């Protein structure tokens, strides 16, 4: 039997149906020579510090840095997870071949490889590598299964990333908490989280400390067109007044008039970050919510794989475009002009060299149905962008007029759209935003002259703008550099901080830690976030540029161009350096723990506040737990994940700690005082989940 392992039960069911494995078993499907099982996302994780040695169980400066001689993994401490792992472990021991059907990306590869490693797999591995979940894509994928060995570098990069996050997160969080944290306060430090917070804090402080300066600009109106003096900002009113007096009652002369026709290319197809930026700007959606929406559209077969960092398609996709366009019946008014014609092929769309693991996010051509309003907005955004790239360029006329009053030069520019081309796809959306730039300028003739109306305008310099999620995502993509040019920004992606698939979670983590907060669409640093970054002196921890360099090395590992051992050694050296600098630093905010009577340092274990609504659903792992009137439930309850944990069970009110244990560990400690609803008798026991994730008492 061949064993297929998917990342989610829903995907496993889809694959099983296509393969003919239609007999439902406990934890897998069977049939036609296949077993099809699944994970719930991560079944395995890196061991925690106390799993390596009891010395690391308690938080103590003297035990830092914690550097395991060899990193190991374990099955997550959750009853449902452990049961599913045992099922996979049993199937692995009996199968003839494993087919890795996990998410086709770095994280998906890591999830699968850890499970197979823990299950002691020795069977050959094949890899299903697909960019959409349509029946056609899955069938083609199984016809063209790849050798699992081809993805060892991808696994190495994912593993190195996880180890790097462990080394820095575990050590630096304990280090800064013990050294500087207030009572019961955990100072969370992360490899990507901290430099992201540093960017937000730096922007926040620059706005707070900004001192506005007054300046003056000289303008004039000639033939109903506003011209700006080329001298720019005038810093004193005296200079401004003299300039105004100089040009008053003197004729305006046109020195040069130039009209150039040009082409505006359609905007690029979406990678994940660009889609999150667009959704935040257009609909006010958070990066995390956008990722969940597009992931849902992917699982509904409506769009291709979303966790991508490329905006291009491979050349072999070109013959498939007409069929996809044909399937977009909801957008027939926009696709109709493309039918019966040769589909435009541009290197700005089709470029094999710029396609990474997957191509840009595009619609699959499957008929849309059963999607929410938010999903509809995202789907429409992706689809319109896809359609627009096959339309002609927009033809524009760019006008530049240079004039002068005596020795003072003035300049005016304007743009007129001659043929809208791809802009017709966005006709209803763009009229407001392009109204000013599309204003038609009159024709001028060099040498013409006439009266004008000069004006001196007093203005004030503006403070930098707070980050929105859109601008923060762009800053993470370019490691903090302010880059507007699309081509240059694309070239800098290799050194961006975080990956497209993880940036949303990093931002949400900062919100959960209360280091940042939303003020309308803007992101502000909180006092806690500002204080934390002010405490961290090491650029190794908070420099976006340095973190970007680490990200680049991870990408090189993925490409087989950087040594994993060298990367780990560099991480270890960095952790040792940071630890020594902080441990022996002067002017400590909170003194190190005093030694006990036996010369052993006093230790304390900070207790984090139980935040149940920050926890992942124990069943689907795809949504957070949310608080209702009488119970906590999965945020995906309306979509079919029916996990419910009542505040009171069998007459016993559950504490936050007990509910937390049930969610994270799959069971509670023994609880006293349950009441039998039939007999009224009292009893004790542990709460556990059964196979369907309903709660029951285990004695």
Q: Give the tens place of pLDDT for each residue, 155-174.
A: 999 999 999 999 999 999 99
604 vs 285: which has the higher pLDDT:
285
pLDDT above 70 (res 590):
no
pLDDT above 50 (res 276):
yes
Q: Report the alpha-carbon distance of residue 360 to residue 367 in Å, rounded.
A: 20
Nearest of 628, 626, 631 to residue 613 by alpha carbon: 626
Question: Are both 200 and 222 inside the same structural domain?
Answer: no
pLDDT above 60 (res 265):
yes
pLDDT value of position 211? 92
Q: Report the alpha-carbon distance of residue 665 to residue 77 in Å, rounded.
A: 5
pLDDT value of position 370? 86
Question: Are both 236 and 134 inside the same structural domain?
Answer: no
Question: Are both 553 and 669 inside the same structural domain?
Answer: no
Number of other CB atoms surrounding residue 118 within 10 Å: 18
Among the ranges given (147-151, 453-457, 482-486, 620-624), the one the predictor scored with the smallest mean pLDDT = 482-486
Q: Report the alpha-carbon distance of residue 511 to residue 625 in Å, rounded.
A: 16
Question: Are both 314 and 281 inside the same structural domain?
Answer: yes
Q: Report the alpha-carbon distance of residue 391 to residue 163 in Å, rounded.
A: 46
Domain membership flag for residue 153: no
Tokens coding 588: 């400590």
Among the ranges given (5-9, 158-162, 182-186), the one the predictor scored with the smallest mean pLDDT = 182-186
pLDDT value of position 499? 85
pLDDT value of position 611? 74
pLDDT above 90 (res 427):
no
Sign of CA dihedral 512, 640, 360, 127: positive
Among the ranges given (223-232, 509-518, 642-651), the one the predictor scored with the smallest mean pLDDT = 642-651
pLDDT value of position 434? 41
Identify the band that residue 600 occupies on the pLDDT scale cut at 50, 70 and 90. very low
Q: What is the per-residue DSSP string for 350-417?
A: B-GGG--SS--B-B--PPP-S--HHHHHHHHHHHHHHHHTTSPPEEEEEEEEEEEETTEEEEEEEEEE
Question: Are both 28 and 99 inside the same structural domain?
Answer: yes
Q: Residue 101 pairs with which residues in a beta bridge?
A: 6
pLDDT value of position 488? 56
Domain membership flag for residue 447: no
Among the ranges given (173-187, 193-207, 290-304, 491-505), the one the predictor scored with the smallest mean pLDDT = 491-505
Domain membership flag for residue 461: no
Residue-range definition of the domain harbouring residue 224? 218-243+394-418
Which residue is catalytic, options 305, 379, 466, 515?
305
Domain membership flag for residue 191: yes
Last residue of some domain: 144, 176, 195?
Answer: 144
pLDDT value of position 199? 94
Report the CATH number that the domain containing residue 70 is assigned in CATH.
3.40.50.140
pTM value is 0.75
Question: Are both 93 and 172 inside the same structural domain?
Answer: no
pLDDT value of position 318? 94
Position of tokens 């003035």? 410
Question: Are both 8 and 118 inside the same structural domain?
Answer: yes
Question: Are both 661 and 536 inside the same structural domain?
Answer: no
Q: Averaged over 178-199, what is the pLDDT?
A: 88
**What separation in angstroms does the CA of 668 have from each of 48, 301, 304, 608, 686?**
20, 39, 41, 18, 5
Report the CATH number that the domain containing residue 561 is assigned in CATH.
1.10.460.10
pLDDT value of position 484? 61
Domain membership flag for residue 262: no
Is-catalytic flag, 305?
yes
Question: Are both 126 and 168 inside the same structural domain?
Answer: no
Among the ranges given (246-255, 373-382, 439-448), the one the predictor scored with the smallest mean pLDDT = 439-448
pLDDT value of position 599? 34
pLDDT value of position 644? 87
In angstroms, the first-to-last Cα distance of the chain is 39
Last residue of some domain: 119, 144, 169?
Answer: 144
Report the chain's mean pLDDT, rounded to a whole number: 88
Question: Are both 314 and 236 inside the same structural domain?
Answer: no
pLDDT above 70 (res 110):
yes
Among the ranges given (127-136, 282-291, 668-677), the one the predictor scored with the smallest mean pLDDT = 668-677
Domain membership flag for residue 670: yes
Identify the band that residue 594 occupies on the pLDDT scale cut at 50, 70 and 90. very low
Across 359-373, 604-618, 654-668, which has the greatest mean pLDDT?
359-373
Question: Are both 568 and 623 inside the same structural domain?
Answer: no
pLDDT value of position 314? 92
Domain membership flag for residue 30: yes
Tokens coding 62: 């003297």
Domain membership flag for residue 232: yes
Among the ranges given (47-56, 229-238, 478-487), the one the predictor scored with the smallest mean pLDDT = 478-487
Nearest of 265, 356, 345 to residue 311 by alpha carbon: 356
Question: Are both 400 and 368 inside the same structural domain?
Answer: no
pLDDT above 70 (res 596):
no
Indicate the number of domains in the chain. Answer: 5
Q: Averaged over 464-490, what is the pLDDT?
A: 80
Report the CATH number that the domain containing residue 287 is assigned in CATH.
1.10.290.10
Helix (H), strand (E) counts: the chain: 22, 27
Ramachandran angles phi, psi of 402, nearest 5°: -110, 125
Share of the chain above pLDDT 70, in %: 93
pLDDT value of position 429? 67
């Amino acid at each position: 039997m061949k064993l297929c392992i998917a990342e989610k039960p829903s995907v496993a069911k889809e694959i099983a149906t296509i393969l003919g494995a239609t007999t439902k078993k406990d934890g897998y499907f069977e049939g036609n020579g296949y077993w099809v099982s699944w994970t719930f996302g991560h079944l395995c994780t890196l061991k925690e510090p106390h799993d390596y040695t009891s010395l690391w169980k308690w938080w103590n400066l003297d035990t830092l840095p914690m550097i395991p001689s060899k990193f190991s993994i374990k099955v997550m401490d959750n009853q449902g997870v452990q049961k599913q792992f045992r099922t996979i472990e049993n199937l692995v021991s009996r199968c003839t071949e494993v087919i890795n059907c996990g998410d086709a990306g770095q994280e998906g590869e890591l999830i699968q490889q850890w499970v197979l490693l823990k299950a002691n797999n020795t069977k050959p591995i094949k890899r299903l590598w697909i960019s959409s979940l349509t029946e056609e894509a899955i069938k083609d994928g199984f016809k063209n299964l790849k050798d699992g060995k081809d993805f060892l570098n991808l696994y190495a990069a994912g593993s190195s990333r996880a180890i790097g996050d462990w080394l820095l997160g575990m050590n630096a969080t304990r280090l800064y908490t013990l050294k500087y944290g207030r009572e019961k306060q955990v100072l969370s430090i992360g490899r990507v989280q901290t430099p992201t917070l540093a960017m937000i804090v730096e922007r926040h402080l620059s706005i707070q400390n900004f001192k506005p300066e007054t300046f003056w600009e000289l303008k004039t109106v000639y033939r109903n067109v506003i011209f700006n003096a080329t001298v720019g900002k005038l810093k004193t009113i005296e200079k401004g007044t003299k300039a105004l007096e100089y040009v008053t009652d003197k004729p305006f002369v046109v020195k040069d008039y130039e009209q150039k026709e040009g082409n505006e290319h359609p905007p690029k197809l979406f990678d994940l970050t660009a889609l999150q930026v667009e959704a935040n700007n257009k609909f006010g959606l958070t990066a995390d919510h956008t990722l969940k929406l597009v992931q849902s559209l992917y699982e509904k077969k409506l769009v291709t794989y979303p966790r991508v960092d490329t905006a291009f398609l491979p050349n072999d996709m070109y013959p498939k475009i007409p069929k996809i366009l044909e399937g977009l019946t909801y957008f027939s008014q926009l696709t109709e002009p493309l039918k019966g014609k040769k589909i435009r092929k541009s290197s700005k769309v089709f470029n094999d060299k710029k396609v990474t693991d997957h191509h840009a996010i595009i619609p699959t051509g499957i008929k849309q149905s059963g999607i929410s309003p938010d999903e509809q907005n995202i789907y429409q955004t992706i689809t319109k962008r896809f359609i627009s790239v096959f339309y002609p360029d927009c033809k524009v006329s760019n006008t530049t007029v240079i004039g002068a009053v005596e020795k003072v030069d003035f300049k005016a520019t304007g743009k007129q759209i001659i043929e809208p081309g791809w802009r017709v796809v966005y006709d209803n959306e763009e009229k407001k935003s392009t109204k000013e730039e599309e204003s038609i300028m009159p024709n001028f003739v060099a040498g013409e002259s006439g009266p004008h109306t000069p004006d001196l305008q007093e203005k004030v310099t503006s403070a930098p703008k707070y980050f929105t999620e859109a601008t923060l995502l762009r800053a993470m993509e370019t490691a903090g550099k302010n880059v507007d040019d699309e081509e240059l920004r694309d070239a800098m992606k290799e050194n961006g901080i975080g990956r497209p698939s993880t940036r949303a979670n990093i931002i949400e983590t900062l919100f959960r830690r209360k280091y940042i907060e939303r003020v309308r669409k803007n992101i502000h640093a909180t006092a806690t976030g500002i204080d934390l970054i002010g405490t961290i002196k090491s650029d190794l921890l908070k420099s976006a540029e340095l973190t970007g360099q680490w990200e680049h090395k991870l990408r090189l590992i993925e490409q087989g161009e950087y040594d994993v051992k060298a990367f780990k050694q560099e991480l270890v050296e960095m952790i040792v350096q940071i630890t020594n600098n902080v441990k022996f630093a002067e002017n400590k905010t909170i003194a190190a723990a005093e030694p006990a009577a036996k010369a052993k340092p006093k230790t304390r274990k900070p207790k984090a506040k139980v935040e149940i609504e920050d926890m992942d659903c124990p069943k689907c792992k795809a949504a957070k737990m949310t608080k209702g009137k009488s119970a906590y439930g999965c945020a995906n309850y309306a979509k079919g994940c029916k996990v419910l944990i009542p505040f009171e069970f069998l007459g016993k009110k559950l504490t936050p700690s007990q509910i937390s244990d049930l969610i994270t560990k799959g069971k509670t400690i023994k609880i006293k005082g349950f009441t039998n609803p039939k007999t009224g008798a009292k009893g004790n026991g542990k709460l556990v989940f059964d196979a369907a994730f309903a709660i029951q008492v285990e004695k």
